[in-house]
Amino acid sequence: MTANRDAIIKLFRVGHNRAAVYAPLSAIFPGHTAPVVRSADDGDRELVMMSWGFVLPQKDRAAKRVTNARDVKVRTSGFWRSSLEERRCLVPVSSFSEPKGRSPAVWHWFGLDEARTPFAFAGIWRSFKGRLKSDGEAVELQTYAFLTTTPNAVVKPVHPSRMPVMLSSEDEMDVWLEGSPEEAFALARPFADDGMAVVQAGSSKEDLLGAGDSPVEPQSFGRLL
């Protein structure tokens, strides 16, 4: 999430006094804290910091982080359903990555364009209170996850089964936050092939544009279209 706070406030129509302060992030991993947009109790939007990954407690073991919900399960699973119905959010994104191969893996970064124009994942959130480790102290967290769906032609060569549900228009974001569960779920579909591209590929697990370096030129490895 390399976009700065002012850009996100403008894109997601959040008041400055309702927006947490954060620094741009060149990489976000499960358990990391990142900005999320949701509707507050009074109906206005707020930008808050949440921990990535719903917490699934496991007996005698550390809790498991579950970072995304499949569209085919989110309406039927008790773990996800109430969040889809009652606690939807927008997860600001400038790019996302998927690895391909092993030893070494090649990390492919996807974005709307090389400038990393921000968009949103279709997110859900919930509160957690309990232990993250079996022998740890109890904590209170607000956590988020996001929906995945079948991949489009850009993502499929790298991840053949899933891609995040991406929202790029104001209307889509409004429906996801404010529409009925049925209206919101209708947005769970692959993103348009011609609306995104691979913007970086290599060994880096960071978006190099966000890290202050120049991104790898797409022509050097070919766009996955």
CB 14 within 8 A of CB 36: no
Tens-binned pLDDT, residue by residue, of the chain (225 aa): 999 999 999 999 999 999 999 999 999 999 999 999 999 999 999 999 999 999 998 887 888 999 999 999 999 999 999 999 999 999 999 999 999 998 899 999 999 999 999 999 999 999 999 989 878 888 999 999 999 999 999 999 999 999 999 999 999 999 999 999 999 999 999 999 999 999 999 999 999 986 544 333 332 222 222
Choose among 219, 220, 210: nearest CA to 2.
Answer: 210
Q: Going by C-beta distance under 8 Å and a sequence separation of 6 or more, which residues neighbour residue 115?
A: none
15, 112, 94, 108 alpha-carbon torsion, rounded to 10°: 170
CB 155 within 8 A of CB 110: yes
Give domain 5-220's CATH superfamily. SOS response associated peptidase-like (3.90.1680.10)
Parse the chain into domains and list their residue ranges. Answer: 5-220
168-186 tens-digit pLDDT? 999 999 999 999 999 999 9
Beta-sheet strands, E only, within 8-132: 33-39, 45-52, 54-58, 61-66, 68-70, 88-93, 96-100, 106-111, 119-131
Q: Give the global pTM.
A: 0.91
